[in-house]
């Protein structure tokens, strides 16, 4: 006879400190014809307990099971302050010599509410199906025992096409699935309702909101340029547009109930506690798009709302020591906040991210990739005003009229310790790609005027970019004259990565793309421990690592995966897998640094890491996306998008063309999920 005992060192219903939401635990075992299950609902670790741990084990030694009447004993009493209570489930069975018997245990816990530091409280997503009562944990444990076989079958069905693909290296399959740990362990919060209604917050939180109603989009704060971004679309379908200080997060997400997947947050990392950090989501979002596309679209809707709002509260930026406002209209926020997500964005305050040059292009690129991949027209219409606003916001950074944006001599992008001067290969390439993506999306939505505008800029910007940065072999780090201006940046073709991922024509000639990638492979990858660590961010053309700053000399795990994805899309599969294997060897292999299930943002040549458990390594799913591109992307029109956009005659500096988005707006209920409220 064999006896298995499962002990839960906690009371079933736990009151938490400081009024935080309670947690309920449940343990269970599956009783079958061959397996007998018995329980001990409560025992303690101290001598004063009615049943002690010693008594529990004595009972098992003597009888091999707990008393059957325990099933009807009802709930146990809560523990006293400082006391630890336990519960146990025992399963006993007869096993013949050399025989087999399967015993299934389940452990579940329910913490139905999420409470943020500043008081906002929401129900977790699973409560939509299990409710918020104390019985939810028991129901979860029951369903796990009832359905785990089917769950395992579905997991195998999902994984097998990749696991059985003999063209893929074994290390890649291993790493691809294991990097997904971050979607669960990365501080993930998934709430039930798309509505962030005030009745889910306590009175103190309501008072706080009334006191801080400086978040606003008032007419007097907007220039005519800003207002025209959406009014062109709305004025023909609405009697009036009222711009208010109403929280945009209170608006219901568009779509029917089937499209309601709640709202999703995950941390940049366990050391960088900011929700949905957007410059990093640029790399990680391939995992969500591939596996949970509706969640990915809702994250983009959250950022689209954020683009069209302004938060006038003053913030001090630590690097420069100056003051600015928390969120600027038209700027994509760095993150959705920390202590009060969706309501208090931009928890990051090292630099003023409203002056960053990569966030807005990354928003446009992600939106278009998601739009092109899913073919979700309603999503495209919902976010289009924000796309236009994001693109028009960037015009201020083209200071010489060549169509390109310029960096401002500080680390104004995701590499936030690596200073950039003039035009940069990273931000400039993202901008070129965003111009092309915005033009394509405008054409698809019927906004021909804006499509033409983006084409004109692109035709000016592309030759200027190549003239200032192409050196015959690769694109220089920037157009300045600093000691690292000619450095080889591993991430120099990030814009081309997204262009190819979205079914758009390449930004540059194929020979230039492959030449730049070959240079990165030969220098940034192979000159670092023989390619066994990934791609270092910066490398001088003399073969020495760029030591300009901390980030230039680091290997970024997620950037390496993104680089490998770009190589796959360029037809350089051998170099791609050799590049990405360095991350596996250093991070996941038995001979590596032991970063299993805590892949850091970065490491250096001597193996020192920075920021364990980080979002960006999910970019390995960008490789899988490149290997198995969606049908919609593969079947994208082969005609260059810019050739499909016919330029109208320019009269007085402006082209005249009726926009077709107005027709679509009617179907989308006048963008009722945007921050602009209308009376139709």
Predicted pLDDT of residue 663: 35
- What is the 8-class DSSP label of residue 478? B
What are φ and ψ of residue 418, in 5° steps?
-105, 105
Could you tell me if 259 and 673 are in contact, meaning their C-beta atoms sit under 8 angstroms apart? Answer: no
Closest listed residue to residue 159, CA positions, set 174, 142, 181, 141: 174
What's the predicted TM-score (pTM) here? 0.87
pLDDT tens digit sequence for 245-284: 333 333 333 334 556 899 999 999 999 999 999 999 999 9
Residue listed under structure tokens 């079933």: 12
The tokens describing 542, both together, are: 């003399």
Q: Which residues lie below 8 Å from residue 523, measured CB to CB, with a gap of 6+?
A: 488, 539, 541, 543
Could you tell me if 265 and 275 are in contact, meaning their C-beta atoms sit under 8 angstroms apart? Answer: yes
Predicted pLDDT of residue 15: 61
Could you tell me if 448 and 655 are in contact, meaning their C-beta atoms sit under 8 angstroms apart? Answer: no
Mean pLDDT, rounded, for 425-452: 97
Q: 315: helix, coil or strand?
A: strand
Task: Round to whole Å and give the CA distance between 450 and 655.
Answer: 10
Q: Which residues lie below 8 Å from residue 36, measured CB to CB, with a gap of 6+?
A: 65, 91, 92, 93
Q: How far is CA 27 from the centre of its chain?
A: 33
CA distances for 139 relative to 8, 145, 147, 256, angstroms: 17, 10, 12, 28
pLDDT of 211 strictly over 70: no
Predicted pLDDT of residue 270: 94
What are φ and ψ of residue 324, in 5° steps?
-155, -175
pLDDT tens digit sequence for 371-402: 999 999 999 999 999 999 999 999 999 999 99
Task: Round to whole Å and give the CA distance between 427 and 357.
Answer: 6
Residue 5 binned pLDDT confidence (cut-offs 50, 70, 90): low
Which region among 53-62, 273-282, 322-331, 572-581 has the lowest average model confidence (pLDDT)? 53-62
- The kind and range of the H/E element at 644 are helix 641-644
Dump the DSSP string for 55-84: HHHHHHHHHSS--GGGGGS-PPPPPPTT--
Could you tell me if 469 and 479 are in contact, meaning their C-beta atoms sit under 8 angstroms apart? Answer: yes
CA distances for 135 relative to 37, 76, 89, 129, 130, angstroms: 20, 14, 18, 12, 9
- Helix 510-520 × helix 557-569 angle, to 10°: 150
Task: Round to whole Å and give the CA distance between 641 and 179.
Answer: 35
Residue 638 binned pLDDT confidence (cut-offs 50, 70, 90): confident
Could you tell me if 44 and 52 are in contact, meaning their C-beta atoms sit under 8 angstroms apart? Answer: yes
Task: Round to whole Å and give the CA distance between 577 and 566.
Answer: 11
For each of the domains in the chain, give its residue range(s) and CATH number, in order of start: 10-164 (no CATH), 263-642 (1.50.10.10)
pLDDT tens digit sequence for 593-627: 999 999 999 999 988 999 999 999 999 999 999 99
Mean pLDDT, rounded, for 551-573: 98
pLDDT cut 90: percent of the chain above it: 69
The dihedral over CA atoms of 197, 277, 20, 46, expressed in degrees to the nearest 10, equals: 150
Q: How far is CA 162 from the centre of its chain?
A: 23
Q: 535: helix, coil or strand?
A: coil
Task: Round to whole Å and give the CA distance between 303 and 311.
Answer: 14
Q: Between 212 and 144, where is the model more confident? A: 144
CA distances for 471 relative to 308, 466, 467, 480, 625, angstroms: 39, 8, 8, 14, 31
Burial of 428 (0-12, 13-18, 19+ CB in 10 A): buried
Task: Round to whole Å and give the CA distance between 493 and 432.
Answer: 11
Mean pLDDT, rounded, for 25-30: 91
Mean pLDDT, rounded, for 222-250: 35
CA distances for 479 relative to 312, 393, 421, 425, 433, angstroms: 34, 23, 7, 8, 19
- Helix 557-569 × helix 620-627 angle, to 10°: 10
- What is the 8-class DSSP label of residue 103? -
Dump the DSSP string for 324-369: EEEE-TTSPPS-S-SSSTTTS-----SS-GGG-SSHHHHHHHHHHH
Q: 443: helix, coil or strand?
A: helix
Predicted pLDDT of residue 46: 74
Task: Round to whole Å and give the CA distance between 586 and 578.
Answer: 13
Mean pLDDT, rounded, for 454-476: 98
pLDDT of 661 strictly over 50: no
- Helix 377-393 × helix 425-445 angle, to 10°: 130
pLDDT of 207 strictly over 50: no
The tokens describing 209, both together, are: 């909101």
pLDDT of 206 strictly over 50: no
Residue 196 binned pLDDT confidence (cut-offs 50, 70, 90): very low
Residue 8 binned pLDDT confidence (cut-offs 50, 70, 90): low
Could you tell me if 12 and 76 are in contact, meaning their C-beta atoms sit under 8 angstroms apart? Answer: yes
Neighbours of 499 (CB within 10 A): 29
pLDDT tens digit sequence for 494-524: 999 999 999 999 999 999 999 999 999 999 9
Task: Round to whole Å and give the CA distance between 303 and 308.
Answer: 9
pLDDT of 204 strictly over 70: no
Q: Which residues lie below 8 Å from residue 59, measured CB to CB, with a gap of 6+?
A: 40, 66
């Amino acid at each position: 006879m064999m006896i298995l005992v499962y002990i839960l060192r906690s009371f079933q219903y736990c009151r938490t400190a400081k009024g935080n939401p309670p947690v309920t635990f449940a343990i269970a075992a599956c009783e079958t014809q061959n397996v007998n299950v018995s329980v001990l609902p409560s025992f303690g670790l101290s001598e004063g307990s009615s049943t002690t741990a010693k008594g529990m084990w004595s009972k098992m030694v003597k009888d091999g099971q707990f008393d059957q009447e325990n099933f009807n004993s009802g709930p146990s009493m809560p523990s006293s302050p400082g006391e630890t209570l336990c519960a146990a489930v025992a399963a006993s069975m007869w096993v013949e010599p050399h025989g087999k018997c399967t015993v299934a245990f389940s452990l579940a816990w329910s913490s139905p509410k999420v409470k943020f530091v500043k008081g906002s409280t929401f129900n977790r997503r699973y409560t939509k199906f299990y409710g918020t009562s104390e019985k939810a944990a028991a129901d979860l444990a029951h369903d796990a025992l009832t359905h785990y076989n089917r769950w395992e079958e579905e997991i195998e069905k999902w994984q097998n096409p990749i696991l059985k693909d003999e063209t893929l290296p074994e290390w890649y399959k291993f790493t691809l699935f294991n990097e997904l740990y971050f979607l669960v362990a990365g501080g993930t919060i998934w709430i039930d309702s798309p509505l962030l209604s005030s009745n889910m917050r306590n009175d103190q939180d309501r008072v706080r909101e009334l006191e801080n109603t400086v978040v606003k989009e008032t007419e007097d704060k907007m220039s005519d340029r800003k207002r025209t971004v959406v009014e062109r679309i709305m004025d023909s379908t609405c009697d009036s547009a009222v711009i208010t200080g109403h929280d945009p997060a209170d608006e219901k997400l568009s779509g029917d109930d089937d499209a309601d997947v709640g709202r999703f947050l995950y941390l940049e990392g366990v050391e960088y506690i900011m929700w949905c950090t957007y410059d990093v989501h640029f790399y990680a979002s391939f995992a969500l798009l591939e596996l949970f596309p509706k969640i990915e679209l809702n994250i983009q809707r959250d950022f689209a709302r954020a683009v069209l709002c302004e938060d006038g509260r003053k913030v001090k930026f630590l690097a420069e020591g100056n003051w600015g406002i928390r969120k600027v209209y038209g700027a994509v926020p760095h993150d959705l906040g920390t202590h009060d997500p969706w309501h208090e964005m931009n928890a990051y305050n090292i630099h003023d991210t409203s002056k960053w040059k990569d966030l807005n292009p990354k928003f446009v690129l992600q939106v278009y990739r998601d739009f092109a991949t899913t073919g979700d027209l309603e999503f495209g219409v919902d976010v289009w005003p924000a796309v236009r606003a994001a693109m028009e916001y960037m015009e201020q950074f083209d200071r010489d009229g060549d169509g390109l944006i310029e960096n401002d001599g500080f680390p104004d992008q995701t590499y936030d310790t690596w200073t950039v001067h003039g035009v940069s290969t990273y931000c400039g390439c993202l901008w070129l790609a965003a111009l092309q993506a915005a033009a394509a999306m405008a054409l698809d939505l019927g906004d021909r005027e804006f499509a033409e505008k983006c084409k004109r800029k692109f035709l000016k910007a592309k030759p200027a970019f190549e003239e200032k940065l192409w050196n015959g072999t690769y694109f220089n780090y920037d157009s300045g004259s600093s000691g690292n201006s000619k450095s080889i940046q591993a991430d120099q073709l990030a814009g081309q990565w997204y262009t190819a991922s979205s079914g758009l024509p390449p930004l540059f000639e194929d020979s230039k793309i492959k030449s730049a990638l070959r240079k990165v492979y030969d220098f940034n990858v192979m000159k670092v421990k023989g390619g066994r660590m990934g791609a270092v961010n910066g490398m001088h053309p003399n073969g020495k690592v760029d030591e300009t700053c901390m980030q230039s000399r680091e290997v970024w795990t997620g950037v390496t995966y993104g680089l490998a994805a770009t190589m796959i899309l360029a037809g350089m599969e051998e170099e791609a897998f050799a590049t990405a294997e360095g991350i596996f060897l250093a991070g996941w292999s038995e001979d590596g640094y032991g970063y299993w299930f805590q892949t850091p943002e970065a490491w250096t040549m001597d193996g020192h890491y920075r920021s364990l458990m980080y979002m960006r390594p999910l970019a390995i799913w960008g490789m899988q996306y490149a290997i198995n591109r969606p049908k919609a992307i593969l079947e994208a029109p082969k005609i260059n998008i810019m050739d499909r956009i016919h330029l109208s005659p320019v009269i007085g500096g402006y082209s005249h063309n009726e926009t077709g988005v107005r027709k679509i707006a009617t179907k989308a209920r006048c963008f009722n999920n945007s921050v602009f409220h209308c009376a139709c």
